[in-house]
Structure 1
Amino acid sequence: MIIFVEARSEVAVAFRTQFEREGIVLVDFRPREFEAWLAGATKAELMSVECFLLGDSSERARSMRLVRGRCQTAAIALSDFSTLEKTLDLFACGVDDVVRKPVHVREILARMRAIHRRSEARVDAVAAGQIRVFFDGRDPEVDGDTFPLPRRERRILEFLASHRGRRVTKSQIFQSIYGLFDDEVEENVVESHVSKLRKKLRERIGYDPIDSKRFLGYCLVEQRPSENDAASRGVVAALSNPQLRNSTNPQFGRA
């Protein structure tokens, strides 16, 4: 998800449409609205933001300082016209890049990814076992072969890969894929997309690489679970079933 701070609604709508064509969610705010949102944003919400995009406005420097007070997420300033002094002021406020309009959204995305690489927050690709996930819009690979996925499922896999080693919640995935204020889509749609993704990966590589914990979220694992781990999970699942726990089966019978 990209946050766009722009005073002119028609400019915001135009950019939002262009980003949607690239499969990227862009949420736009007017400057004062953005300050109010940022003040109350949770860590999970900030974590789902890939980049802050700042349009021309008299409040831009203030907005940028507020961003840097909360996080170090990539930030790009868009300028209708630029001078040396204006550009230097923007860098002094904490932006990572200044781009002169007109500019294609693909260039903005390329600059965003370059910032991620420089900050070591992101890399071009991440390997998780047999899976290789890219962050430039390409489909992932399994054992070196392209593994085509629908856009939503690919974006979910990219989000999990970018947070490998950490568990992410359903809400974090939803905000990253659909944005903060999409009232037309229920958050539970994430479960459906993840379920389809897990099934496809399991059929392709022979095991489920997405570990799910109730109330805790999802995590992309890099190794095939060992037989002991799988057996342990089976025993735990069986013991949690009252019918099996109270059956005459010697493994689960009463002591």
Structure 2
Amino acid sequence: MIVVVDERELVKDGFNSLFDREGVASAGFGSHEFGEWVSTVDEHDLKAVRAFLIGECSSDLVSPRRIRDRTSAPVIALSDQHSLENTLRLFESGVDDVIRKPVHIREILARISAISRRFQDEKPYSEFGEMRIFVDGRDPEISGEPLPLPRRERRILEFLASNAGRRVTKTQVFNAIYGIFDEEVEENVVESHISKLRKKLRGKLGFDPIDSKRFLGYRLIT
């Protein structure tokens, strides 16, 4: 999930729509509600956040360093002012990157992936036997051949790969794919997505690489 902080409803709604087209969950906050949320939100919910995008808002209420106290997710400033002074001021506030608007939503996602890799010293993909799973929105590859997947199924596979060696619950998968504030979609939709994903992977690999245990969740295996 991507969190967008901006006082303008039009900006938040616009980003939410653009991220949704890419199959990425997002949530929008104003300064006051974000300050309270980031201080009190449960740690498990916070882990569902891939990045924070900070636009026009109160610097007293939205502090990159305050965010960093709770999570290592990238904090990126969205700038409407194309000036060196403003860019330097934003970096001094503690953000990881400054993006000048207008910008394509895919560039934002690519920058988020690049920053995350630097933090974690990771390659832009994970390998599980014959399967290569990317973190930049590309379809996975099996034995070097792309496996086209719907956006939700691809994001689930990426999430499982990012948690290699650990089990993730249905709730954790749902929060990562749909966001922790989506009340219009039932959590059980995760089971349908994973069932379809497993069928496709089994057809290509000859075995099911997703291990599931009732009440414990899912884990990617090789």
Task: Give the structure-2-normalised TM-score.
Answer: 0.92
Q: Relative to 1, partners in 2 of residues 1:190 and 1:121: Cα closer, same or farther, differing over 3 Å? A: farther
1:87-102 matches, within 5 Å, as: 87-102=87-102
Which structure 1 residue ranges, 5 or more long, are not aligned? 223-255
Q: Of the two, which has the highest radius of gyration? A: 1
Q: Find out whether 1:207 has 2:207 as its counterpart.
A: yes
CA RMSD of aligned residues (A): 1.8
Q: Which has the higher contact order (CA 8 A, sep 6+)?
A: 2
Q: Paired residue for 1:55? A: 55
Identity %: 56
- Tell me the CA shift for residue 206 of structure 1: 2.0
Q: Paired residue for 2:150? A: 150
1:178-193 matches, within 5 Å, as: 178-193=178-193
Distance 1:48 1:98 in 2: 22
Distance 2:58 2:82 in 1: 14
Q: Find out whether 1:169 has 2:142 as its counterpart.
A: no
CA offset digits 1:182-218 (Å, max 9, x no partner)? 1110011111111221222223212221111222211
- Tell me the CA shift for residue 8 of structure 1: 0.7
Q: Paired residue for 1:2? A: 2
1:1-255 matches, within 5 Å, as: 1-59=1-59, 62-120=62-120, 122-222=122-222
Distance 2:142 2:29 in 1: 39
User: Retained in 1: the 8 A contact 2:63–2:93?
Assistant: no
User: Retained in 1: the 8 A contact 2:51–2:74?
Assistant: yes
CA offset digits 1:53-107 (Å, max 9, x no partner)? 0002223674322211101111100111154444333223321001122222122
SS at 2:69 equivalent: helix
User: Retained in 1: the 8 A contact 2:30–2:57?
Assistant: no
Distance 2:76 2:220 in 1: 30
User: Retained in 2: the 8 A contact 1:31–1:63?
Assistant: no
Which structure 2 residue ranges, 5 or more long, are not aligned? none
Q: Give the letter aligned to residue 216 of structure 2.
A: L
User: Retained in 1: the 8 A contact 2:32–2:61?
Assistant: no
Q: Give the letter aligned to residue 114 of structure 2.
A: A
Distance 2:206 2:6 in 1: 47
SS at 2:137 equivalent: coil
Q: Give the letter aligned to residue 4 of structure 1.
A: V
Q: Relative to 1, partners in 2 of residues 1:70 and 1:121: Cα closer, same or farther, differing over 3 Å? A: farther
